[in-house]
Amino acid sequence: QSALTQPASVSGSPGQSITISCTGTSSDIGNYNFVSWYQQNPGKAPKLMIYEVNKRPSGVSYRFSGSKSGNTASLTISGLQAEDEADYYCCSYAGDLGWLFGGGTKLTVL
């Protein structure tokens, strides 16, 4: 069960937009529309930001959006704010394999 592939780090200035990619295979991301994204601050439990590829839970800012093309999912954060600095993880349902997470991406707001 290989983890999904994310860039180790991304950065952006306040007000800019950034995109974090998440690459899987035809057995996970490519086969199911069950991609989710999580934000984790140091010492805290993860927080769900996106589910079912592009849906936002109640209370999550409209600045967070998700998409998918083939075996790759993406999380875009627009209007970057200092409070967005955190680790971000993608996750995909993978059928008999359960769920796979990405290795995580550290977002730095410059």
Partner 1 sequence: ELQLVESGGGLVQPGGSLRLSCAASGFTFSGYSMTWVRQAPGKGLEWVSYISSSGSSMYYTDSVKGRFTISRDNAKKFLYLQMNSLRDEDTAVFYCVRETLYSFASWGQGTLVTVSS
- The neighbour count for residue 33, using CB atoms within 10 Å, is 13
Q: How many residues bind partner 1 (CB under 8 A)?
A: 26
- Residue closest to 68 by CA, chosen among 86, 82, 55, 81: 55
Name the phi and psi angles at 96, rounded to 5: -60, -20
Candidate list 29, 73, 74, 102; residue touching partner 1; CB under 8 A: 102
Candidate list 51, 54, 56, 85; residue touching partner 1; CB under 8 A: 51
Candidate list 80, 100, 107, 109; residue touching partner 1; CB under 8 A: 100
Q: Does 57 bind partner 1 (CB under 8 A)?
A: yes
Q: Does 74 bind partner 1 (CB under 8 A)?
A: no
Instruction: Give CA–CA dist 40/26, Å, rounded.
Output: 27
Q: Does 89 bind partner 1 (CB under 8 A)?
A: yes
CA 51 from chain center: how many Å?
10
Side chain identity, residue 57: P
Q: Does 42 bind partner 1 (CB under 8 A)?
A: no
CA dihedral 52, 39, 61, 92 (to 10 degrees): -10
Q: Does 91 bind partner 1 (CB under 8 A)?
A: yes
Footprint on this chain of partner 1 (rule: CB under 8 A): 1, 3, 32, 34, 36, 38, 40, 45-48, 51-52, 57, 89, 91, 93, 96-104
